[in-house]
Structure 1
Amino acid sequence: MGLFGKFKEGLKKTRETFFGKIKKILKGRKLDNETKEEIEELLILSDVGFEATEYILEKLETLDEDDAYEALKKVLKEILGNNNILNVSNNKPFVINMVGVNGSGKTTTAGKLAEYFKKENKSVVLAACDTFRAAAIDQLKVWAERTGATFISHQKGSDPAAVAFDAVNHAVAKEKDVVILDTAGRLHTKTNLMEELRKINRVIKKIVPEAPHEVLLVIDAVTGQNGLQQAKMFKEFVDVTGIVLTKLDGTAKGGIAIAIVKELGIPIKFVGLGEKIDDLKPFNAEDFVNALLEG
């Protein structure tokens, strides 16, 4: 199945619940007060959020096209279509710091990213920097075995920055292509967590000054507006460069993707569209919007 097919299948719930109705309302019609009110309600209900919804409606009014449906597709692609590609430099190692709250699918995403890079013929180091939870260490080890990645870990309760340092140091020594740091996500100790993430960044810069090259925030799409609040908090403390939106196939409110990009200005780099090892896909705005509206 191609990428569009995966998006189409993964966004089925959202399309059938909200965006399919928007298509019926707008297709072949100009935007008027009646249709504006109808789609405003549907957009907000789909977790697009108030700010992004107002922006979309203003743009549709400005465009004033005879087919508001086609205009909507243009607006959504414009919102979502910037800087989505993960540009992996040829300088080794390329370091990715994975952040996000516990339960967002962060460790699973780190494992699936390892598989993605393996298919790109890149060697990967997976680092278990969530030393607070023994289960997270064990889970990442399983992913390393499944994907053939090198696994770096310390004992439960160890300093996460020490694990990150060892992982990057190993990657430099062995000329590995990619290092993926799976960090903790304990929101109830927010201040400590953010200091921990900053310390990891400081420590790895001693080995690779430009690292981390990407800080990917993993958000569970099912959490909707809560996910947006999480993203705002992480952005405040850490230089988030991209979003990985997981469990898109499990929510009827896929509009959260639009809210995140519009309100935070952070591009979506990958999306999770299922449980299989290869169900983490690079984000493509055109395919996403077409799958959301066309079906």
Structure 2
Amino acid sequence: MSEQKRSWFQRLKDGLKKSTSAISDGITGIFTKAKLDADTLDDLEDLLITSDLGVGVAAKLTEVLSKDRFDKEITGEEVKEILSSEIEKILTPVAKPLIPSPEHKPHVILMAGVNGAGKTTTIGKLAKKYKGEGKSVMLAAGDTFRAAAVEQLQVWGERTDVPVVTKEIGSDAAALAFEALDRAVRENVDVLLIDTAGRLQNREELMDELAKVVRVIGKKLDGAPHDTVIVLDATTGQNAVHQVEVFQKMAKITGIIMTKLDGSARGGVLVACAEKFGLPVHAIGVGESIEDLQPFDPKEFARTLVGAE
């Protein structure tokens, strides 16, 4: 294992520490008996639900255990191995990096999510990544109602040396998206990342605004946006599932990036989202540094989450 790979694995392990200890300690506490019985299965299902894996995933995992090992001797470590294997099966089909296609010029990525989820920071990190790969990148500050969001994106633009298209605060977001796309086409840019507003409390207004942005982009460039990615904050737990449902109605979400997995014991919600929506999970963030946003590895995540050695 390379030094870079090992250091990322260590960051993932450190980041998921709270989630891991909640699940791992819970399993150790439950599986003190020699044989697997109905009571231990109920306790395990409750543990998985309270660890934000969701009711569907919890039922699926306990059913696998029940089918194979009911009334047989089993240890906590064996349970962790079985759970990590089953969680990996849920996650593997959705682990897909966000790779801009050279066939699209520009490849347009629309970023959605509620305020505070880490959307603008994620855009900055992606810009740095793509620039490092030799691609030309442009950013569009489409959250035109929040000066802080525009300023934050401008800081990322300076830091990564990529242009940022802005308009005055309160401007029409769709008009800004159109201008940014027009400029990106003219300048032959490889990747255009568009920020959007995330005011869930004004759902109807936000829905109309996002839908308008998507419409305008599609009229300007056939097939755009090529990706519509929702950024989710893991610390919100099951609310992250609700956010995907809400944003799916506003724009056709094509993928997920989950941030702040280091912030709480609620990392299991990524599994719940994967099982419920089947959307690609492009990357996960376990810290503030640029290196802490990495492509999603289902095996590492599953084993780390349940504390399988």
Question: Does TM, scored on the shorter chain, surpass 0.5?
Answer: yes
* Contact 1:222/1:248, CA 8 A, preserved across alignment: yes
Are 2:89 and 1:78 aligned? Answer: yes
Paired position in structure 1 for 2:190? 177
Paired position in structure 1 for 2:100? 88
Distance 2:50 2:123 in 1: 31
String of CA shifts for 1:62-96, please: whole Å, max 9, x gaps.
Answer: 45497443221221011111132224211221111
C-alpha displacement of 1:215:
0.8
Instruction: For 2:137, give the aligned amino acid.
Output: V
Are 2:248 and 1:235 aligned? Answer: yes
SS in 2 for 1:47: coil
Instruction: For 1:54, give the aligned amino acid.
Output: A
Are 2:308 and 1:294 aligned? Answer: yes
* Contact 1:79/1:258, CA 8 A, preserved across alignment: yes
SS in 1 for 2:186: helix
Are 2:126 and 1:121 aligned? Answer: no
Alignment of 1:126-145 (within 5 A): 126-145=139-158
Paired position in structure 1 for 2:262? 249
Distance 1:118 1:26 in 2: 49
Paired position in structure 1 for 2:180? 167
Instruction: For 1:134, give the aligned amino acid.
Output: A
C-alpha displacement of 1:165:
1.2
Structure 2 residues not aligned, in runs of 5+: none
Paired position in structure 1 for 2:121? 108
Instruction: For 2:60, give the aligned amino acid.
Output: Y
Distance 1:87 1:60 in 2: 37
* Contact 1:20/1:294, CA 8 A, preserved across alignment: no
Measured at CA, do residues 154 and 160 of structure 1 come closer, stay the same or move farther in structure 2, by a change above 3 Å?
A: same
Matching residue within 98, 110, 116 for 1:97: 110
C-alpha displacement of 1:238:
1.7
Are 2:236 and 1:223 aligned? Answer: yes
String of CA shifts for 1:100-125, please: whole Å, max 9, x gaps.
Answer: 11111111111111112122222211
Q: Percent identity?
A: 44
Alignment of 1:141-152 (within 5 A): 141-152=154-165
* Contact 1:80/1:267, CA 8 A, preserved across alignment: no
User: How many residue pairs end up in the alignment?
Assistant: 295
Point out the structure with max Rg over C-alpha.
2
Q: TM-score, normalised by structure 1?
A: 0.92
Q: Name whichever of 259-268 and 139-148 sits farther off.
A: 259-268
C-alpha displacement of 1:268:
1.8
SS in 1 for 2:193: strand
Distance 2:150 2:228 in 1: 20
* Contact 1:77/1:289, CA 8 A, preserved across alignment: yes
* Contact 1:26/1:69, CA 8 A, preserved across alignment: no
Paired position in structure 1 for 2:27? 22
Structure 1 residues not aligned, in runs of 5+: none
SS in 2 for 1:184: coil
SS in 2 for 1:248: coil
Instruction: For 1:282, give the aligned amino acid.
Output: P
Instruction: For 2:14, give the aligned amino acid.
Output: E
* Contact 2:214/2:251, CA 8 A, preserved across alignment: no
Instruction: For 1:80, give the aligned amino acid.
Output: L
C-alpha displacement of 1:20:
4.5
Distance 2:296 2:28 in 1: 22
Paired position in structure 2 for 1:42? 47
SS in 2 for 1:176: coil
Instruction: For 1:156, give the aligned amino acid.
Output: I
C-alpha displacement of 1:158:
0.8
* Contact 2:207/2:249, CA 8 A, preserved across alignment: no
* Contact 1:84/1:283, CA 8 A, preserved across alignment: yes
* Contact 2:81/2:308, CA 8 A, preserved across alignment: no
